[in-house]
């Protein structure tokens, strides 16, 4: 999501904090979550450290002066030209997004499935550039399987079934966010447990413990709606995508009051109907819902004069002549100036379901999204479009966090564990400035606890980690991986007192050279408690290319030279998520009750994305 702007528009006067300020026909505040009270500001993202720029990327003084003159010459033109953005706005797997405006801020959440903490919360001022500000769920408390409880049948060489003891592909599905009575409310389903909600005064949290609304498996995609008369409703679907069910809720949104009624079911014209969001506008109730499935489905909208129907339906966004083959499922929001916008995903294989932004105009009581398609009532995705009129200039400094020097007391918001972590298995304080990962017993990477992941950012990304391997124990594996079904990894294997570089695909390991003790020598002040033992340091790297291939390499000389190992590895969409770069360690053992054995210390994790790579 780095460089969306082609020109920069001048700043506009800030809007009044006290005004909701939506002119003309607008959504009900209670329906769309638009309120005048401005959400409190979060602290700015942590400083992102980078290695020095290579010589070919540094500007000579004369060249810099020439560029400055050129920029000055076109200033008058750029000051009047509208700033634009380019889709996708986030080339990363924020699937099933929902979005609201509260005052001058926009908040977005997305599905997180089996990753913990769950339900990332993002904030923006311009609807294009986003920053992670927290998570709704510190842990996934819904069932023991979210803690990875053996025995397991899944291996690194198998894809399905997931089998016992795990919750891959379960967890949080398609959450919805609204702001009502001064509080943020988030609703979600876990397909194996039921429908839940949590609330908070601030989007950053703290959030209340999950409240169970419906303790029933097989439900999905709930969304709340508070009507103008104070009544509260919940709409959701069933696993398998349909029908849509509408239930009454208590006014505070913490209980459902009935079994609900079906308000939409039409397998022929509305196949795979899911992800509903309710809105009210100009006397109509609208259900925004995708149809047709993740890979190729369009976006549909139903409308009715009564919330309980009957609803008439039409497709409002489809592929058209664009390469965006499945533009659907997301959230609708309006700016203070009355502009309508739809944030949605599109499925892209190993990069997951990445995020797009479409303008919305209203015609004859129906939304038309994107660019209108001649002769049809639907639109198609825009590739480039003027920036939303939010009252704020574009802010490219707002970005998805990724790199981490591990010098803070807590992990950055970009990190999510594979299932719930074991607290005793990791630390940021035992060796300040380093992330310590202890090796817990596991037979396979996919059953190893405390694998630390973050979202893959496309269309090209390189992640490098520096690891101190001096405290590894026999039987331990550690390294960097692209987490997916049948995963691949590059890392370290310690056996018979020797630590070797190793490359693995689908559980098959290939051993490389032995790492000499003290491969990189660091001074004792930097090492702290580890100064008595010279470290075996190694830099591990994975680069993902636009063709969705992973290329692994390592360095034993402080990152000056990297050696590739293993051929390119095909990445894949797995467990409803894109592939993820991750750090891991485990002690290869079938005795899952055994204590930790050995550890690694990670000095830093540095990410370069497409606009930063040569």
Domain shared by 545 and 586, yes or no = yes
List pLDDT tens digits, range 168-215: 999 999 999 999 999 999 999 999 999 999 999 999 999 999 999 999
Is residue 68 predicted with pLDDT exceeding 80?
no
At residue 81, the pLDDT reads: 78
- Give the single-character DSSP code of 203: T
Mean per-residue pLDDT, 46-69:
40
Same domain, 305 and 435: no
Residue 18: alpha-carbon gap to chain centroid: 31
Q: 18: burial class by Cβ within 10 Å (0-12, 13-18, 19+)?
A: exposed
Distance, in Å, from the CA atom of 265 to the CA atom of 242, rounded to the nearest integer, reads: 7
Task: Tell me what the mean pLDDT of segment 305-319 comes to.
Answer: 97
The enclosing H or E element of 62 equals helix 61-73
State both tokens at 503. 């490359």
Q: 96 an active-site residue? A: yes
pLDDT confidence of residue 391: 94
| Span 454-478, average pLDDT | 97
Provide the residue range defining the domain that includes 156: 29-229+263-386
Residue 151 lies in a domain: yes
The catalytically annotated residue of 35, 42, 96, 468 is 96
Q: Which two tokens stand for residue 78?
A: 């750029």
* Tokens 């000055």 found at: 72
What's the pLDDT at 611?
A: 85
> Is the pLDDT assigned to residue 26 strictly greater than 80?
no
**Strand 461-468 versus strand 537-545 pairing type:** antiparallel
- Tell me 447's DSSP state: G
Q: Are residues 464 and 595 in the same domain?
A: yes
Percent over 90 (pLDDT), the chain? 80
The residue-averaged pLDDT of 1-9 equals 36
- Closest by CA to 391, choosing from 107, 86, 1, 101, is 101
Annotate 96-126 with b (16+ C-beta within 10 A) or e (fewer): bbbbbbbbbbbbbbbbbbbbbbbbbbbbbbb
Q: Tell me, what CATH number does 181's domain have?
A: 2.115.10.20
Both 327 and 425 in one domain: the answer is no
Q: Distance between CA 307 and CA 286 in Å, rounded?
A: 8
Residue 238 resides in a domain = no
Place of tokens 């049809």: 376
| Domain-located, residue 398 | no
Same domain, 162 and 55: yes
pLDDT tier for residue 59 given thresholds of 50, 70 and 90? very low
Work out how many domains the chain is built from and give that number. 2
The answer to whether 356 touches 128, Cβ cutoff 8 Å, is no
Residue 495 CB: number of other CB atoms within 10 A? 14
21 domain residue, yes or no: no
Is 325 in the same domain as 184?
A: yes
Give the domain-ending residue among 348, 366, 386. Answer: 386
- Could you count the other beta carbons within 10 Å of the beta carbon of residue 88? 24
In contact, 216 and 254? CB cutoff 8 Å: no
- Per-residue pLDDT band for 528 (boundaries 50, 70, 90) equals very low
Q: Look at residue 7 and tell me if it is in a domain.
A: no
> With 50 as the cut, is the pLDDT of residue 583 above it?
yes
Q: How far apart are CA 409 and CA 390, in angstroms?
A: 35
335 pLDDT band, cuts 50/70/90, is very high
139 and 69 part of one domain? yes
Residues 561 and 463 occupy one common structural domain: yes
Strands (E), 474-579: 476-483, 488-495, 498-505, 508-514, 537-545, 549-555, 563-564, 569-570
pLDDT score for 436: 98
With a cut of 80, say whether residue 482 has pLDDT above it.
Answer: yes
Peptide bond into 88 cis (omega under 30): yes
Residue that wins the pLDDT comparison between 537 and 247: 247
Helices and strands: H and E segment counts in the chain:
4, 41
Nearest-angstrom CA–CA distance, 165 and 420: 12
pLDDT for res 135: 98
Classify 421 as helix, strand or coil: coil
Q: What is the pLDDT of residue 518?
A: 59
């Amino acid at each position: 999501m780095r460089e969306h702007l082609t020109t920069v528009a001048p700043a506009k006067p800030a809007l009044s904090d006290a005004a909701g300020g939506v002119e003309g026909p607008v959504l009900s505040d209670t329906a769309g979550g638009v309120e005048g009270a401005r959400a409190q500001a979060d602290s700015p993202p942590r400083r992102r450290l980078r290695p020095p720029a290579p010589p070919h990327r540094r500007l000579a003084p004369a060249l810099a002066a020439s560029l400055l003159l050129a920029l000055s010459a076109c200033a008058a033109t750029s000051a009047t030209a509208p700033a634009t953005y380019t889709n996708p706005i986030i080339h990363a797997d924020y699937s099933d997004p929902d979005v609201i405006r509260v005052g001058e801020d926009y908040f977005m959440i997305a599905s997180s499935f089996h990753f913990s903490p769950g339900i990332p919360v993002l904030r923006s001022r311009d609807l294009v550039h986003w920053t992670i500000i927290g998570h709704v769920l510190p842990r996934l408390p819904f069932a023991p399987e979210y803690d990875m409880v053996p025995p397991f049948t899944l291996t690194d060489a198998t894809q399905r079934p997931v089998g016992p003891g795990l919750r891959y592909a379960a967890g949080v599905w398609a959450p919805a966010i609204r702001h009502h009575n001064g509080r943020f409310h988030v609703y979600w389903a876990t397909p194996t447990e039921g429908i839940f909600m949590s609330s908070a005064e601030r989007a950053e949290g703290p959030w209340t413990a999950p409240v169970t609304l419906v303790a029933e498996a097989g439900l999905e995609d709930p969304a709340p709606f508070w009507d103008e008369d104070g009544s509260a409703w919940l709409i959701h679907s069933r696993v398998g995508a349909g029908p849509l069910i509408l239930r009454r809720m208590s006014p505070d949104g913490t209980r459902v009051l009935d079994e609900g009624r079906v308000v939409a079911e039409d397998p022929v014209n509305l196949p795979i109907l899911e992800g509903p969001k309710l809105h009210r506008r100009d006397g109509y109730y609208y259900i925004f819902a995708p149809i047709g499935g993740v890979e190729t489905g369009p976006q549909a909208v139903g409308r009715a004069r009564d919330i309980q129907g009957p609803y008439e339906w039409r497709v409002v966004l489809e592929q058209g002549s664009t390469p965006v083959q499945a533009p659907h499922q997301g959230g609708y929001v309006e700016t203070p100036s009355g502009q309508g916008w739809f944030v949605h995903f599109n499925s892209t294989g190993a990069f997951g379901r990445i995020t797009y932004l479409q303008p919305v105009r209203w015609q004859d009581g129906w939304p038309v999204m994107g660019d209108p398609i001649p002769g049809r009532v639907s639109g198609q995705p825009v590739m480039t479009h003027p920036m939303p009129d939010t009252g704020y200039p574009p802010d490219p400094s707002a970005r998805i966090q990724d790199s981490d020097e591990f010098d803070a007391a807590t992990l950055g918001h970009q990190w999510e564990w594979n299932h719930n972590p074991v607290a005793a298995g990791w630390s940021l304080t035992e060796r300040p400035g380093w992330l310590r990962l202890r090796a817990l017993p596991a037979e396979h990477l996919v059953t190893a606890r405390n694998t630390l992941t973050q979202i893959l950012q496309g269309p090209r990304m390189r992640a490098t980690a520096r690891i101190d391997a001096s405290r590894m124990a026999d039987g331990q594996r550690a390294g960097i991986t692209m987490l997916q079904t049948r995963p691949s990894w590059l890392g370290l294997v310690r056996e018979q007192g020797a630590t070797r570089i190793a490359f693995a695909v689908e559980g098959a390991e290939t051993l490389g050279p032995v790492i000499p003790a003290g491969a990189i020598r660091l001074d004792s002040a930097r090492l702290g408690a580890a100064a008595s033992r010279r470290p075996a340091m190694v830099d591990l790297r994975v680069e993902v290319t636009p063709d969705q291939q992973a290329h692994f390499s390592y360095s034993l000389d402080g990152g000056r030279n990297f050696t590739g190992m293993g051929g390119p590895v095909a990445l894949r969409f797995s467990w409803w998520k894109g592939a993820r770069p991750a750090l891991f360690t485990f002690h290869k053992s079938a005795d899952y009750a055994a204590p930790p054995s050995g550890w690694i210390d990670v000095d830093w994790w540095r990410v370069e994305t497409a606009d930063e790579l040569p």
